[in-house]
Amino acid sequence: MVLDPQFIWNGIVVGSIISVSALGLTLIFGILNFINIAYGDYMATGAYLAFALNAQIGLPLGVAIVAGVAGMAAGAVLIDKLVFEHFRTSSPVTLLIVSIGVAFFIRNLIRAIWGPTGNFYDVPIEANPNLFGVRYSVEQLSIIVASLLLLTAVYVLLRRTRIGIAMRAASDDRTLTRIRGVDTERLVLYVWIAGGAIAGLGGIMLGLDAQIRPNMGFTALIPIFAATILGGIGDPKGAVAGGFAIGILQEVSVVVVPSEYKFAVALAALIVGLLLRPDGLFGEATR
């Protein structure tokens, strides 16, 4: 059986979206040490903000994307101030449960404002150009380029800047980092800004590639979590590698497995990965 290269391309596109989204999730986990179930709904919020500006108000898509990303960054900080800050010293399980409540609230707020049905950005639906048997769209190319730029930027941030180094230090040991004089509350603020912006961008990418619907982020959480854990939760480069692995596996799997089991393939990959590499792909789990 010859594998159609279109499936690989589709996998790269989906993998780009999962990687970007997993990166934001793992950054938040690294500093705040809890799994934010509302993260998928942050993605949906970013997508809907951009949708409102683009398809409803009529702003150019580029402007809407920037505003959607910025809006979700501000929104993540606002939610932290309103909700999560009050549970800063609570256990990760408590925070996880709180985040479930936040997730339900956001999702239903979206439904109340924009309705339950799916929507599309104001981009033309047309046949994609064909290159060597692979059909690609401008949106897909943009998604891949944007994800590579973002992943590089985050890598540079974490490796080459004082804030990034402080983030990595806090990710290893937040108490020790504070003792060493780092303002960890400020770091938390930066992480929410970065995590919210990345979530917003991930949601917009998802909306561009597919459609915008209230539970789009929630359903995307399964492969995003799988990528995050496969890569070693808290490890940014692991999340990126995990994202591409899950994305490509999911899309290629439809050749041999009925497509309704795509998510099961992601979970199977996660189980196999954990059995073979229990500390994550790069052996730096739960840093």
How many chain residues bind another protein (CB under 8 A)? 34
Tell me the closest approach of the beta carbon of residue 62 to another protein, in angstroms: 21
**What span, in angstroms and rounded, lies between the C-alpha atoms of 24 and 92?**
18
- The C-alpha angle 170, 172, 178, rounded to 5 degrees, equals 35
Instruction: Looking at 52-137, list the stretches that DSSP marks H as alpha helix, in order from N- to C-terminal side.
Output: 61-82, 92-114
Whichever of 91 and 259 has its CB closer to another protein, that residue is: 259
Tell me the closest approach of the beta carbon of residue 128 to another protein, in angstroms: 5
Which residue is listed with tokens 């606002």?
Answer: 78
**12: nearest Cα among 255, 245, 253:** 245
CA dist 196 to 93, 102, 219, 265, Å?
A: 21, 14, 18, 28
Structure tokens given for 287: 């840093």
One residue of 107, 174, 237, 262 binding another protein per CB under 8 A:
262
Residues 121-160 that bind another protein (CB under 8 A): 125-128, 130, 135, 137
Whichever of 31 and 103 has its CB closer to another protein, that residue is: 103
Q: What string marks each residue from 190 to 209 as x (binds another protein by CB under 8 A) or -?
A: ----------------x--x
Q: Tell whether residue 33 is a contact of another protein (CB under 8 A).
A: no
Provide the Cα torsion 147, 152, 158, 161; round to 10°.
-130
Whichever of 209 and 284 has its CB closer to another protein, that residue is: 209
Going through 97-235 in order, the beta strands assigned E by DSSP cover: 130-131, 134-135
Q: Which stretch binds another protein (CB under 8 A): 25-33, 78-86, 248-256, 267-275?
A: 248-256
- Contact status, residue 204 vs residue 142, Cβ threshold 8 Å: no
Residues 159-188 that bind another protein (CB under 8 A): none
One residue of 27, 67, 154, 220 binding another protein per CB under 8 A:
220
Q: Which stretch binds another protein (CB under 8 A): 64-72, 83-91, 118-126, 172-180?
A: 118-126
Q: Tell whether residue 80 is a contact of another protein (CB under 8 A).
A: no
- Contact status, residue 195 vs residue 27, Cβ threshold 8 Å: yes
Q: Which stretch binds another protein (CB under 8 A): 89-97, 170-178, 260-268, 278-286?
A: 260-268
**237: nearest Cα among 3, 4, 23, 6:** 23
Q: Which stretch binds another protein (CB under 8 A): 163-171, 192-200, 247-255, 269-277?
A: 247-255
**26: nearest Cα among 205, 206, 228:** 228
One residue of 120, 155, 190, 282 binding another protein per CB under 8 A:
120
- Contact status, residue 114 vs residue 48, Cβ threshold 8 Å: yes
One residue of 55, 66, 157, 254 binding another protein per CB under 8 A:
254
Q: Which residues bind another protein (CB under 8 A)?
A: 4, 6-7, 10, 14, 116-118, 120, 125-128, 130, 135, 137, 206, 209-211, 213, 215-216, 219-220, 251-252, 254-255, 258-260, 262-263
